[in-house]
Each structure stands twice: as C-alpha cells, then as structure tokens.
Structure 1
Amino acid sequence: MTFQDRAIGAASRLTSDAWELFRDCPFVRMQLGERLAKLPDFSGEAARAVSARAEGILKQIDEIDAWSLPQTVGIPLRQARYAMEMRRNAGAWYPTVFDPTGIGFYGLFAPSAYCGGFVLQMFIDSLTRQQFATGGDLDRYLGVLHDLAQCVDRMAERTAEQAVAGMRIPKPQLPAARAIIAGFKGRLKQLVPDGTERFASGLRSDELRFRAEATRRVADCIEPAFARWADVLDQDYEDKAPQGVGMAQYEGGREIYRGLIRLHTTLDLEAEEIHEIGLERIARIHERMKSIRSQCGLADDPKAYLEFVRNDARFSAATPEAVTAVFQRYIDRMDRAYSSAFREPLKVGYGAAPLPKALEGSMTFGFYSPAKPGQEQAQYLFNGGHLTAVPLHTIAALNFHELVPGHHLHLSMQYGNDALLPISRNAFCNAFNEGWAEYAGHLAGELGLYETPEEQYGRCALDIFLTCRLVVDTGMNALGWSLERAREFMRENTSMSDAEIRSETLRYACDIPAQALAYKLGDTELIRAREVSRAKLGGRFDLRDFHARVLAFGAMPLPDLHRYLNG
C-alpha cells in the first residue's frame, strides 16, 4: 500500500468519524428526515463531551494534507474539518454562547428566536407531523415528549446559571424572550395528536390510551417546564438585567466574538476591518439609490419615494395570502430565466408561506425551510405581520435570496446529490450558504430580473440593510455602540420600520452575534471567485459551468472554495 493509499484511507475514516458526530446535531437529523426518537441533551456536560470528540478528530485531520488527495476525498475532509471546528468550542463557550442546532448558530440566550426558539420550533413542528404505524411509534413519541420537557429544563437551567454568574438577558430583549416562551406554551396542546388520519388502522384500539398519556405528559411535564423557564425571568431578574447590549459587556465576550467572526465568515478579519468595509459599501449603495430616485424627480427625498412605492398596487398586500402571490410573481419570473444560468433542472418544488405566529414578534423576515417528510415542498416562511405593513418592492430580492437562485437552489441540489458523501450532502457553512444566497440576489440583477426601477430600488434597499449589519453587529458587540446608536444608524441608512429595526438589532446583540456578517462578506468572495475564473478562462468561461462547479461539493469555507476553484 502506497503512502497516498494510506492517506486516502485515513481521510475516509476521519470523514466518517466526523459525520457520525455531526449527524447527531438536531438540525442535521431533521434534515435527514429521521423520526424523532430522542432529543439532544442541552447541558454543559454534554457540550463539553462534544468538544472533546471534535477536538480529537480535528487533531487527526490536521495531520493530513487534504489538498494532495483526490478532490472526491480531500474536499469532504475539509468539510469535515469545518464541521468539527463548529463543535470544538461548544464546551468552553457554553456559559456565554451555546449552539442547540449543532450547525454553528451559537446564541447568547436560549429564549431567543434564532437560538432556542428555532430549535424548539423544529421539534414541535416535527412532532405535530408525525405518523404512527406501530405501537413502538406510540411509545417513542411519548418518550420524546419526556425529552422535550428535559430540553426546556436544560435551557431554563442554563438561563438561571448565567444569571448567577452575572450574565442576564438585557432589558430591551426581555419582552421578546418572555413572548417566545409564552408563544410555545400556547402551542403545546398540538402535541396531543387529534383525528385518526395519523394512526394506522391497527392502532385504533390504542388511540384513547395513547392520547390520555400524551395529554398527561404535556400537562404534567412540558407545561411545567415552560413555566419554570418563565419563572427564571422574574422581576428580580429584570431588576438586575443590564440596559446595555453586546458581547463585550460579558466576561470573555470580546474574545468569543472574535471566534464567532472567524466561524461565521471563514475569513481572517477583525471587527474593526469589517466595520469599515460596511461604512464604505453603504456610501456606494446610497449613490445608486439616489440615482434611481432621480428618475421620478425624488433624488433627495427617500421618504417621498417610499410613499410613491407604497401607493403602487404592485408593491402592497393586505393579507399574508396576497404576500404569497407577490412571491409567486418572482418565482414565475425566475423560472423563465433559469436555463440561462444553470444546467441542472430543479427537482424539488418550492414556494412561500406565512411564519408561525409564535415567531412573528422576534423575526424580521423569516427563514427558509427545506422540503422534508410531511412537507414535500420547500418553503420560505415569511413574517406576514411585517410584510402586510410595508411596501413590497424588496420582495423580488428577498425571493431570489431565499428561494431560486438562492437557498432553495443550493440546498436542494446539495441535499439531493446522492453522489456526495453524507458529510458533503449535509454540509453547512454560514459564509457559503448566506454568501451564495446574496450572490443569487446580485445574479438576478445581472439576469435582468429586477424589471422596474422600484424593484431595482428594492434590491438596493435589501443590499444596504444587509450591509448595515457589518456596521451595527460589530459596533454593538466589539466597538462599544449602544443599542440606540445602532438603531439610529439603521434608521438613517435603511427604510426599515421601527419594529423591524428593533428585532434586527436585538438579533445581532442578544441572539446570534456575528452570524449576520456572513451575507455581504460571503457574496463578495463569490463574485471575486467568479471574476478570477472568468479572467483565467477568457472566452472559454461559461456562467453555467461556474455555477455547477461552485455547487458541486456543497457548502465549504470560502478560502477552501477559492482553492478548489482555482487549484
């Protein structure tokens, strides 16, 4: 056996080891369509155990030169390395930030939309769709109800332990945190399956017993767990909570924020550098927006221009159903242009639908939900409450970011590519995922899909909003900005409503710091990679081939993508 053969064998084994650890993540198991048989342990002890396993695998991976191996072996090994990097700090960071999803969404506090709220939403949604074919399914479901109560208790315990250590949810975030807990409490009766369509005919005699026991576990275990969590956030907690926000105010927070920047962007940038990049880009976008406004004589009056757009029936909707129809307008438009930029046809349907009410108050826009058992069509779940109250000229850009050619195109091709190893088929890298989605929004403009000045302005509006994140995320978490200073900056530079600005700034400062930096840094790297490839190939460059190469192996760190594309 040659040295190369031994290296390939070791790489394959380590990739498999990394996959076994990574597949234990709740988000990955849900994406695999696995039935919930057991929920994860969200304790600090469990986080430290995960870190130890990840660190052991990382040390072995770093002994192998992945780039000397065939791409089909070396790239999955690099993806495995990044997956282990996401997990290696889970234990050390646990008192300050923790990652219940398992894919790097480290959040400061559990009762927040994108951290604990997101993962609990996944669990409850899965349970409310579950089908029962055997008596074992019934018993497993009851076991998962018990586990759900433990998950909530672990989150409550962590919240209390943070408070004892002097780390409390800032006062401005407390109302949203309490609302999230209350919102989930209001949904718990859905965990008792009703009707008979979810039960196989042979289980009819067990239904009454099963429902009675499920009702008991919800009432005696899960509801009290949520009540205990709510009790942690009592008046004494609020009295001692800080008014200020951001990671730098917490012990070790500044250094962990640096680690989160590296994790989410995969780039070696300091907070100050990112801050300046954001300021420079915002100035350029403002010039473009002013140019568009000048076409109707409103160059120096952004508010009047927004009113002009608001009064256009094409860009308004009174109901969530009407918002869905606006999304469909751009879905249809992209369908007509698809083959000019991509070779592989889409295999999974997609659409848009309203976000669950429990999350409306703490999510500005929403999130992409891939197809899964019981939900055969992928969906972008949008905040209907917000979108029925604002002009919809940004929906084109949002649609192209979230669906096609953005998240849905990337993820459906990645998840559906059976030729990939499991670690690649289920790879997650925030800089790649969000960078591709924003690149897709830019690409839509190059394809002429923003047909009206209003839609072009909407693209700029979304662009400047996402670019503001580079300024306010770093400002609040590293540079000493107050929450009000961040909000005033966003008021001055975006057309977002006060409600949107409130939820967004709390997302950066109190929920998942640094995650929002990936969007506009990621798309820049993808555009740069494309232009390097174009210059290298000259007349042989084909946009469809470039996109096929970028998506061929799934998500990966951006430096690895550059090396793969130009190696």
Structure 2
Amino acid sequence: MRKLILPAIIMLAVTGCKMTTGSKAQYYLGETQKAETNTSTPKQPQSATVEDMSLKAIIDSAWQINLDYSPQMAYSLGDEAKAALLPDLSPETLAEKNLRLKTLLSSLKQLDIDKLSKTDKINAQILQYQLQNDVDMYTYKDHYLPITAESGFHAYIASIANGRLHSEADYQNYLAKLNALPKYFAQQTFWLQQGSSSGITPAKVTLNGFEDSISAYIVDVEDSGYYKPFTDFPEHFSDAQKAELAAEGKKVVKEKVLPLYQQFFDYMTQEYIPNARTSIAAKDMPNGKAFYQNRVEYYTTLNMTADEVHQLGLQEVARIRAEMEQVIADVEFKGTFAEFLHFLRTDPQFYPKTAEELLKEAAYIAKKADAVLPQYFATLPRTPYGIKPVPAEIAPKYTTGRYSGSNRDDEAGYYWVNTYALNKRPLYEMEALTLHEAVPGHHLQISINKELTDLPNFRRYSYISAFGEGWGLYSEYLGLEAGFYQDPYSNFGRLTYEMWRAARLVVDTGMHTKGWSRDEAIEFMASNTALSMHNVTTEIDRYISWPGQALSYKIGELTIKRLRDKAESELGERFDIRLFHDALLQNGSVTMDILEQKVDEFIEEQKAA
C-alpha cells in the first residue's frame, strides 16, 4: 500500500504544455498565477559536468534536489527557511528539476562501478533505480494524475494544519501556506486539465463517489480542519495574540481556502469526471504499453514481463486455495467454498459493533506483537507508534488499513485503521492487517530504515515497494511462528490476505494488459478471498488507478521466503532467525537483486564465524 512517508521523495516531472482555454480549471488562476503556470523554456541545470562528479557528489546533488523542490521535506529536516512554502509545480520548475535529474543520471551511468566499494556499489545501484524512475515518470507524465481512486492532492495538502505550531512565527508561516493554497490548487488543476486533454486520467468508473472526498472539506469555517489550529493555541500566547491570529485565520480560511474546495468540486463534477477515460487499462493510455511494462519492472525491481507475473499469480492462487479448503474442512463447515465466504461476509459474529471496538482490537493485537519482537529481532527501532482511525474525509474509498510514518524524532508513526462501514471490516482479518501495517511489518522496517544513520539520506528516507511490501506480507506469515492465528477463522483471514496479494498479480496484469473488465477482476478476487465486497471493489479501483504497484507485495514476499529457505538450508543449526532478520533490514530498503546479494554475504559470514 502506498505509504505516507516523505511523499516528496517521489519526484514529479512534466513536459511543459499550454493550458487549454475555456476550462473551469482557469478560475483558480489570477493574472499573476496564470503567468507563473505558462510554459517557458526551462533554465539549464546548475550542476557539475559528467567528468568531474564523484559518486559522493552525485549523491549530495540528488539529495539537494529533493530539498530544493520539496519545502515540506526540507522544513521537516530542519530548514526553517522553507517553513512558509508549498511546492512549486509550475511547468518551468518541474522541467528544470527534470533536467537536473537527467544530468545526474547521466553522470551516474558514466561512473566505473567496478572501482567502488561494496557499500558504494549498492548506493550507486539504488540511486540509479530512483533517478531512472524520476525521469521515467516525467516522460510518462505522472504529474497529470495528482488524484487516484482513493483520494488526491486536495486531501493530502490538508495535513499542513497538523504541523508544529509553537510560536507566533509558526502561525505566520502557517498563514503564509494558507495564502499559497490558491496557487497550489491552480497548478494541480492545470495538470488535471492537461491530462484530461491528452487522455491521461483515472478511469471514470474509479471516480464514482470521488466528489465526496472534496465535499467533506466544504464546511463552515469553525468546522474546517484548516481553522482548527486557531482554536487551540499554546498556553504562553496572550489573549491579544490569540484574538489577532484567530481573526486572520478565520478570514483566510473563509475567503481563500474554502472557496477552493467548492470550485474544485464544481470542476471535477462538471468537467473532469464526465470526460475521464472510459477504458480501465493502462495500455490504452498514450504510450500505455511501455508505461505498464515500466511499472512492472519498477515495482518488482526485476526484469519480469506482465505475462510472467500473471502466470505466477495463477500458480499462487491455486496453492493458497488448497490451504483455504483445508481450513474449511478443519472447522467442519458443511457447504461449498462460496458458501463459506458468504458466511464470513454476513455473520455478525465476525464484525465489530463500534469503531472503538475495532481500534481496541487492533491495539490489543499490536501489543501482543510488540511482546514477541525480541524473539525474532536483535535490533529494534526507538521510534514508537500509535493507532488511530483513517481520517473521515477519505475513509469511504480508502483501503482497510495503512501505515503513516513520521520523519521527525519528536513524533510517532501511526497505524491507521479504517473504521468506516464497520460491517465491512471483519475481525478475522485484524491479526494479519496489524502484523503487516504495524509490527513486525511497516512500522518496524521503516523506522529501522530511518535510524540507519550510516546510510546516506537518499536511502534512509526512501521506500522500495518490492522490499517494503514484501516485508509486510512476510510479517503476516511470520505471525504463524510467533503464535498468532490460533483461531481457525483468523488463520483463514491470514490466508485470505495472502490470496488477496496473489490475486493482485492476476487482476492487475489482467486489467492492464489482457483486456479484463472491472467486473471480471472483481469476480475473480471476490470468489477467491473472504474480503468484503466493499473492500474488493475499492481494491480493484485502486489497482486500476495505480498500475503495477500491487505486484510488489507477492514478488517481494516470495523473494524473502526463498532467501530464508536458502539461509536455513545452508546454515542448518547455525541459522539464527534474529541475525537473519537483522541482515535483511540493516541495509534499508533495497531491490531484490541487492537483497539476494546481502543474504549471500550473510550466509558466508555465518559460515566463517
């Protein structure tokens, strides 16, 4: 699942295009803002030549690009000068950024990798993987899609209201960002218009109900999340300070911020969604076949084809289905597989009555998982984590759970649990979900990654999906060894989660390359998993609007399991699960070929010891 950590690491890129006249997208643009979003010849990158750049210089330059174009990241890492800024997404700025990235990528490819140390070889490989993706996303115009089936920029930018507000200067910086929102919305809407004009949009069917994620922000000023910081000031503020800031905050939220959401709602419902593409397949977009193959290779980190992924998925579905049938036999259920799924989806005993019950169940499982960590890991992170519901504004179309990390040392990570539609949130899935999203899954892996201070920043604050999602799915499996899933229904929940990830390989490739319809994909997943129909539908829409990402889970998990089998086989009694897990995590998020290389080194080191 898409992790909410340092989104600015993922570089946006764009070829400059002129805005089509006559669009409601224009009513975000004042005269000055129109000039700022018009295409111009991008400035040449101010970077060193290929000949005089060392790997360290390239790494430093790449990190500086991240900071230069992401004020949120720069501020969160200590750059107070960026505290009042939002990202600039104008054509000339993004084009300039892309030129800098291409120059660095060219410099990196010119290096003699054989002369580098083991550590630097890995640094070079991972940086090339990242930079190549940044350049590819520019080529494929990923920035034309600042929305997905789940949500979009209009919801994610609202997190500026949750920042650090301890002084009057902090409030002035926050007010500056509120005042910058019209320009930010104008730029994002400009890119939506470019996508609409060129056939690069989410599939129309996945946008059913999307307007609800916008209307959730169209409220009275006093009820707006943007205004909330002006109702909860630090105690040391004087009454006069509070009154002045609150008045200014109310004015800007009422007159500038809230109208943006109404205008965006009108644009989306009257223009964008009605004209969104009707095909669900990535291959049907401009340059779509090449784009999807690019996504397959990026998300698996392997040279796999869509056909190979599809066949692997079918094999895994058959294997897991046999295990699920065995559980049904064990509980002596008298009926077919489909009838058992219906029983799980409809019997009230499997569903929470209140949001609090669901959150408490997640918390109880998480604390049980905390207690067994020392048995499986020699190194644990210092960063704690909390549990809270998915924000109500995005919950209806959001996935069932997610991990939201923090890049600050004074803030915990969070395991988000979706408490919307409780009759679609079965308790028998909660053990697998919690082990995946919290510990030993995403929280543990991502937190350890950030605490590896010997790694360069571009690796400490990055996320490679095949590794991270593979680790999350492996963590669900690890629960078997740790004594979870004692209840057969919970074990079936684990299997249905594994089947969910295997079915993804089939439906993602099926829809994007093999002509599968949305209904066919929904039927395939619904008939093979015990996911609620609500979850099945939201997941299928996620795969349609986020091509290829769903492939990373199973590919990563199967790789990790295979490497563990290899280590256990070669080391025998000398195999130490705690040291093995440390070996997997101590290099941060890596590609699958690098992971195999590091496990091979671990095996040789253990043999020598």
TM-score (normalizing by structure 1) = 0.88
Corresponding residue number in structure 1 for 2:552: 518
Deviation for aligned residue 1:13: 1.8
Deviation for aligned residue 1:357: 0.8
The letter of the residue matching 1:484 is D
Alignment deviations for residues 338-377 of structure 1 (CA, whole Å, 9 cap, x no partner): 2221012342222322111111111121320124659833
Contact 1:44 1:91 in 2 (8 A): no
Corresponding residue number in structure 2 for 1:269: 304
The letter of the residue matching 2:329 is S
Distance 1:300 1:26 in 2: 58
Deviation for aligned residue 1:407: 0.2
Contact 2:72 2:85 in 1 (8 A): no
Q: Flag the 1:401–1:34 CA change in 2: closer, same or farther, 3 A.
A: farther
Deviation for aligned residue 1:332: 2.8
Corresponding residue number in structure 1 for 2:105: 58
Contact 2:388 2:416 in 1 (8 A): yes
Corresponding residue number in structure 2 for 1:233: 268
The letter of the residue matching 1:540 is R
Are 1:75 and 2:122 an aligned pair?
Answer: yes
The letter of the residue matching 1:40 is P
Deviation for aligned residue 1:210: 2.8
Distance 2:598 2:562 in 1: 14
Deviation for aligned residue 1:81: 2.4
Q: Flag the 1:27–1:139 CA change in 2: closer, same or farther, 3 A.
A: closer
Corresponding residue number in structure 2 for 1:124: 158
Corresponding residue number in structure 1 for 2:148: 112
SS of 1:268's equivalent? Answer: coil
Deviation for aligned residue 1:274: 0.8
Q: Give the one of 187, 209, 226 matched to 2:244.
A: 209
Distance 2:399 2:440 in 1: 22
Aligned runs of 1:295-444 on 2, under 5 Å? 295-298=330-333, 300-306=335-341, 315-371=350-406, 376-444=411-479
Corresponding residue number in structure 1 for 2:60: 16
Gaps in structure 1 of 5+ consecutive residues: 1-6, 99-107
438-447 or 209-218: bigger deviation: 209-218
Deviation for aligned residue 1:402: 0.6
Aligned runs of 1:21-100 on 2, under 5 Å? 21-23=65-67, 24-25=69-70, 28=73, 32=77, 36-66=83-113, 68-94=115-141, 97-98=142-143
Contact 1:323 1:388 in 2 (8 A): no
Corresponding residue number in structure 1 for 2:172: 139
Distance 2:274 2:231 in 1: 49
Q: Flag the 1:164–1:110 CA change in 2: closer, same or farther, 3 A.
A: same
Q: Flag the 1:126–1:430 CA change in 2: closer, same or farther, 3 A.
A: same
Distance 2:173 2:264 in 1: 25
Contact 1:172 1:243 in 2 (8 A): yes
Corresponding residue number in structure 2 for 1:451: 486
Alignment deviations for residues 522-546 of structure 1 (CA, whole Å, 9 cap, x no partner): 1111112222333343433211111
Contact 2:449 2:585 in 1 (8 A): yes
Corresponding residue number in structure 2 for 1:164: 197
SS of 2:110's equivalent? Answer: coil
Contact 2:310 2:506 in 1 (8 A): yes
Are 1:256 and 2:303 an aligned pair?
Answer: no
Contact 1:12 1:77 in 2 (8 A): no
The letter of the residue matching 1:517 is L
CA-atom RMSD, angstroms? 2.9
Corresponding residue number in structure 2 for 1:553: 587
Contact 1:160 1:232 in 2 (8 A): no
SS of 2:516's equivalent? Answer: coil
The letter of the residue matching 1:112 is T
The letter of the residue matching 1:56 is T
Contact 2:149 2:541 in 1 (8 A): no
Contact 2:362 2:430 in 1 (8 A): yes
Contact 1:51 1:89 in 2 (8 A): no
532-541 or 299-308: bigger deviation: 299-308
239-248 or 433-442: bigger deviation: 239-248
> How many pairs were matched up?
546
Corresponding residue number in structure 1 for 2:28: none
Contact 1:351 1:378 in 2 (8 A): yes
Q: Flag the 1:153–1:225 CA change in 2: closer, same or farther, 3 A.
A: farther
Corresponding residue number in structure 2 for 1:504: 539
Contact 1:28 1:426 in 2 (8 A): no
Q: Give the one of 315, 327, 334 matched to 1:292.
A: 327
SS of 2:440's equivalent? Answer: coil
Deviation for aligned residue 1:395: 0.8
Distance 2:379 2:331 in 1: 40
Contact 1:333 1:449 in 2 (8 A): no
Corresponding residue number in structure 2 for 1:103: none
Q: Give the one of 567, 586, 591 matched to 1:533.
A: 567
Alignment deviations for residues 154-186 of structure 1 (CA, whole Å, 9 cap, x no partner): 222222222222444433223332222222344
Distance 1:238 1:133 in 2: 42
Alignment deviations for residues 461-505 of structure 1 (CA, whole Å, 9 cap, x no partner): 111112111111111112111111111212221222222222111
Distance 2:387 2:172 in 1: 35
Distance 1:114 1:256 in 2: 21
Contact 1:18 1:83 in 2 (8 A): no
The letter of the residue matching 2:137 is A
Distance 2:114 2:318 in 1: 40
Deviation for aligned residue 1:300: 4.8
The letter of the residue matching 1:140 is N
248-257 or 400-409: bigger deviation: 248-257
The letter of the residue matching 1:123 is I
Deviation for aligned residue 1:9: 8.7
Deviation for aligned residue 1:403: 0.8
Q: Flag the 1:329–1:534 CA change in 2: closer, same or farther, 3 A.
A: same
Q: Flag the 1:354–1:148 CA change in 2: closer, same or farther, 3 A.
A: same
Distance 1:557 1:64 in 2: 20
The letter of the residue matching 1:59 is S
Deviation for aligned residue 1:514: 0.9
Distance 2:381 2:540 in 1: 35
Q: Flag the 1:353–1:30 CA change in 2: closer, same or farther, 3 A.
A: farther
Distance 2:408 2:163 in 1: 8
Q: Flag the 1:438–1:182 CA change in 2: closer, same or farther, 3 A.
A: same
Gaps in structure 2 of 5+ consecutive residues: 1-50, 602-609
SS of 2:416's equivalent? Answer: strand
Distance 1:20 1:386 in 2: 43
302-311 or 380-389: bigger deviation: 302-311
Contact 2:383 2:412 in 1 (8 A): yes
Deviation for aligned residue 1:444: 1.6
Distance 2:202 2:346 in 1: 40
Are 1:566 and 2:600 an aligned pair?
Answer: yes
Q: Flag the 1:452–1:142 CA change in 2: closer, same or farther, 3 A.
A: same
Distance 1:374 1:208 in 2: 32
Q: Flag the 1:167–1:367 CA change in 2: closer, same or farther, 3 A.
A: same
